[in-house]
Amino acid sequence: MIYQMYQAQADLLNPLRSFARTSSALMRTVTPNAPYGIFMRHVNAAMEVFGHAGTTHQRPHFQIKEIMAGNNMVGVTDETVLATPFASLVHFKKGSDRKQPKLLLVAPMSGHFATLLRNTVEILLQDHDVYITDWHNARDMPLEAGPFGFDEYVEHVITFLEHLGPRSHVVGVCQPTVAVLAAVSVMSETNNPATPRSMTLMAGPIDTRRNPTKVNRLAKTKDIGWFEDKMIGVVPGRYRGAGRRVYPGFIQLSAFVSMNLDKHIGAHIRQFRSLATGDTQAAETHRAFYDEYLAVMDLPAEFYLETVQRIFMDHDLPRGELTYRGRKVKPEAIKKTFLFTVEGERDDICGLGQTAAALDLCANLRPLLKRHHVQVGVGHYGVFSGKRWANEIYPRVREVIEFSV
């Protein structure tokens, strides 16, 4: 009943939040210098904060219209070039004839839409022809589409890389690093011509036995039956995926928020003050971040439970027990793909050493084709978003790709 309880709460609060947003917009038309201006600004601030504090299930737009490529501004349009019931392959087409390396950015399926990697895409677009895995919300996946588990995830990565063709590159961010490594291992073993030239794994749980975080330890305190009983809901009848068992995105969001509750409360208090004092720039920055952060997507139950079991509980990949379609995944089969691993010094989701474990697993890669980087002073999101990503991490990713072309 967990999903039904959430839906009932949303049905109650959403009209109130909509009313608050509308009222806030009307209040902004009131002259702030009126005698009641200060009072109205505070009421408006309260309405604004409340109106934008709820979760949504609507995928935001990437909104990448142009980027700086070299010394020129180049227009960008995103278009779906391949689609399944579970994901779309989105291509960011630039208004330039300049040929650049093709790159597949594999986004996490972890409760947020791929648009959370907007800044990652913007930076990569400077020098690359970028595609991204745009995973669909599980509550919109009809039952007749079938199940979607770890094998289907890996299969999508392979299919999308085959669409890009030979001499492409792949970047996996966070959770999909395991699936990306598995996909490249399978492609290498079968001599698939679309095997990528380079593979960048960023802040991912390759081996969560190394320096385990609070998230990793939680997975070890319960058995898989507990997760299935407590964390899985059923999509209500009003949606296309009615009857599908899912791990609701609002649960994942609640887990992320609870890890840094003081930070989020403080951010909303600052937002109230910004609105009340007329600091529109700070208010807009806050609004843009949380509109994205609070847009959640549900995960197929099969994928969530298999990920918890195989990656966080049993550590199948580092133990050499991970399988794909019944066959062993062999990272040692990778012999020609440049491997670059990136970690954040302050990452409280994927601890130091967890992503670097891939370097040991790819035992037959020459040292020349392996590189590791720890970014000082950043947490999990700082690895792939923000100034440190743009100025310190991305140049290293670019170097690896240039070396591998």
3-state secondary structure the chain: CHHHHHHHHHHHHHHHHHHHHHHHHHHCCCCCCCCCHHHHHHHHHHHHHHHCCCCECCCCCCCCCEEEECCEEEEEEEEEEEECCCEEEEEEEECCCCCCCEEEEECCCCCECHHHHHHHHHHHCCCCEEEEEEECCHHHCCHHHCCCCHHHHHHHHHHHHHHHCCCCEEEEECCCHHHHHHHHHHHHHCCCCCCCCEEEEECCCCCCCCCCCHHHHHHHHCCHHHHHHHHCEECCCCCCCCCCEEECHHHHHHHHHHHCHHHHHHHHHHHHHHHHHCCHHHHHHHHHHHHHHCEECCEEHHHHHHHHHHHHHCCCCCCCCCEECCEECCHHHCCCCEEEEEEECCCCCCCCCCCCHHHHHCCCCCHHHEEEEEECCCCCHHHCCCHHHHHHHHHHHHHHHHHHC
Whether 15 shows a pLDDT value over 80: the answer reads: no
Residue 179's pLDDT is 98
Residue 319's pLDDT is 97
* 290 vs 358 pLDDT, higher one: 358
* 168 vs 4 pLDDT, higher one: 168
**Based on the number of CB atoms within 10 Å of its own CB, is 214 exposed (0-12), middle (13-18) or buried (19 or more)?**
exposed
Spatial neighbors of 209 by CB under 8 A, at least 6 apart, are 315, 318
Residue 18's pLDDT is 76
Whether 106 shows a pLDDT value over 60: the answer reads: yes
Mean pLDDT rounded to a whole number for the chain? 89
Whether 302 shows a pLDDT value over 60: the answer reads: yes
Please tell me the distance from the alpha carbon of residue 157 to that of residue 89, in angstroms, as a whole number: 10
| Mean local confidence (pLDDT), 301-329 | 97
Please tell me the distance from the alpha carbon of residue 48 to that of residue 25, in angstroms, as a whole number: 8
Residue 387's pLDDT is 95
pTM for the predicted model, two decimal places: 0.87
Whether 27 shows a pLDDT value over 80: the answer reads: no
Say which CATH class 66-218+299-404 falls into.
alpha beta
Provide the pLDDT confidence category of residue 359 given band limits of 50, 70 and 90: very high
* 57 vs 51 pLDDT, higher one: 57
Residue 4's pLDDT is 67
| Mean local confidence (pLDDT), 13-18 | 73
CA distances from 199 to 62, 139, 168, 170 (A): 24, 31, 10, 5
Rounded to the nearest 5°, which phi and psi values hold at 74?
A: -125, 135
Residue 257's pLDDT is 66
- Measure CA of the first residue to CA of the last residue in the chain; give whole Å: 52
Residue 58's pLDDT is 81
Provide the pLDDT confidence category of residue 65 given band limits of 50, 70 and 90: very high
* 133 vs 219 pLDDT, higher one: 133
Closest C-alpha to 177, from 357, 330, 388, 14: 357
| 129-155 pLDDT per residue, tens | 999 999 999 999 999 999 999 999 999
| 107-125 pLDDT per residue, tens | 999 888 999 999 999 999 9
| 387-405 pLDDT per residue, tens | 999 999 999 999 999 999 7
Domain with CATH 3.40.50.1820 in the chain: 66-218+299-404
